[in-house]
Homo-oligomer: A and B are copies of this chain.
Amino acid sequence: MSQEKSAKKTTIYDLAELAGTSASAVSAVLNGTWKKRRISAKLAERITTLADEQGYAVNMQASLLRREKSKIIGMIVPKYDNRYFGSIVETFETMARERGLFPIITCTRRDPELEVEAARTMLSYQVEWLVSTGATDPDRISDLCAAANVGSLNLDLPGTKAPSIISDNFTGARELTRRIMLNSRARMGEARPLLFIGGRASDHNTSERIRGFRAAHADIGVLLDESHILASGYAPEKAEASLASLARTEGSLPNGMFVNSTISLEGVMRWIKRSGHYGEHSPVIGCFDWDPFAALLGDDIEMVRQDVPSMLDAVFLIIQNGAADRTLIEIPPIFRENFSP
């Protein structure tokens, strides 16, 4: 890595010399503690001007080493390729900064190894809190944090060793399923069992959503088909493949579907288009997650939006006030009629 000029960076000692004062005075002026030190306004003025001229910037590494707290807060996130995680990251950054914290974020691409490596690195950087978003093994990360005396939090997917903030998946899925069935009935004349597709059966969110899916069928008195629950992963290709395979074995597919994420929806829509399976009569679809273009894809596509601002409010509330490790906070997702303008 090449360095443009070889000049060293300006330090408070350089500034002190230029101002004809001491490093401690400079430090006090530059970090705002100088009122209690009763440093003269002219000295303060002189120092600030000088600092500006020299393009001085504190060395955080040195500053943090000396202080007790780093004010750094970390987050790991699986992907940046959808609106949900995108807004989680953006909101997290904004809220952290509003609270005087410095956010650092790492994308771990759903790779368990990368997750723990990222967690370790963040601990080295002295994060005071670590938020694991959609982590495959959140408890492992909580253990690492606990060993380093650092607070941890789970977001989106729950764990058992730190407070968790997630969507109310059961209630949300139940209502979403109800709506899909209503739409389907409006079109087909009668309520019919739906297909569930996407996600991993092993993860808490997916299993809760499947539970809500079942409950909604029971509510309406429709018997669902167990072989129509396809929790085959998050990647679009997975969804595409399992639809193809089901169509092959069963000939014809249900005309209503519950899709577990926009990422899975990508595969679903692609398959529908490519296969031509449904011909003119595209299926009635509901998706647990929101995307602006997907929303324009058809009239019969119902979407739920996870309430990211409320989820992160809860996160920062816990950071401020603490909470028991096994706390589970479930935030209701938002339906179409309550979408923000």
User: A residues near B, CB below 8 A?
Assistant: 1-5, 7-9, 54-55, 57-65, 69-70, 79-81, 83, 86-87, 89-90, 93-94, 102-107, 109, 120-121, 123-126, 128-129, 144, 146-149, 151, 236, 262, 265-266, 269-270, 273, 291-294, 296-297, 319-322
Contact = CB atoms under 8 A, between A and B. Distances in A.
A126 B60 contact: yes
Contacts of A87: 80-81
B321 A69 contact: no
Among A79, A149, A293: residue with most chain B CB under 10 A: A293
Given A87-B81, A90-B107, A319 B1 contact: yes
Contacts of A2: 151, 320-322
Nearest to A267: B292
B81 A102 contact: no
Contacts of A63: 124
Contacts of A79: 86, 90
B80 A70 contact: no
A339 to B, nearest CB: 13
Contacts of A61: 60-62, 64-65, 70, 125-126
Contact of A124 (B7, B60, B105): B60
B5 A57 contact: no
Given A297-B293, A322-B2, A107 B129 contact: no
Contact of A104 (B57, B94, B104, B120): B104
A124 B1 contact: no
A57 to B, nearest CB: 4
13 contacts: A1-B320, A4-B151, A55-B144, A57-B148, A61-B70, A61-B126, A80-B90, A93-B106, A103-B106, A236-B292, A266-B292, A266-B293, A269-B296
A43 to B, nearest CB: 23
A106 B322 CA distance: 27
A124 B65 contact: no
Contact of A86 (B54, B80, B106): B80
Contacts of A144: 55
Given A59-B126, A60-B124, A93-B107, 19 more contacts: A1-B129, A1-B151, A1-B320, A4-B146, A8-B149, A9-B149, A57-B123, A59-B124, A60-B125, A61-B61, A61-B64, A80-B80, A80-B86, A81-B86, A90-B109, A103-B106, A266-B293, A269-B296, A270-B296
